[in-house]
Amino acid sequence: MKKCPSCAEEIQDEAIKCKHCGESLNQTQRKINFSNLPRYYQEEFTKISESNEAYRGKWNWAAFFFGPLWALTKGIWLASIICIVVAVVTAGIGGIIYWFAFALRGNYQYYCSNVKNKQLLI
């Protein structure tokens, strides 16, 4: 028995698809090539991938200083739009809080957008 890298449920060692979440184990277990990314993101994505996403990335200064603009350049459009709307509705305070979220979780958001084609809210 082993744990599914996506949902952490127990599955058979020979399983090619998780019976709990439906995730294909061949895709999650293969080595993902990040050579088309800058070195910083290659290292971060490798750490995230090798830890089965337990590691969520470190503080990202570019994401902190440029917030939604940084996110848009990385293809993280959903979080960017939400940040801008929250900033307008809360007279900027919510936007500042969201910028900290970009700094803390930006690398993982970029990883999800790039590798899993999944947009995260925060």
User: How buried is 84 (Cβ within 10 angstroms: 0-12 exposed, 13-18 middle, 19+ buried)?
Assistant: middle
Provide the 10 A C-beta neighbour count for residue 17: 13
Half-sphere exposure for 31 (CA within 13 Å, toward CB): 3
Q: Indicate whether this model's pTM tops 0.85.
A: no
pLDDT confidence tier of residue 31, bands split at 50, 70 and 90: low
Residues making up the chain, counted from first to last: 122
Strands, E assignment, the chain:
2-3, 10-11
pLDDT tens across 46-74, in order?
999 888 888 999 999 999 999 999 999 99
CA atoms 79, 111, 36, 26: torsion sign: negative
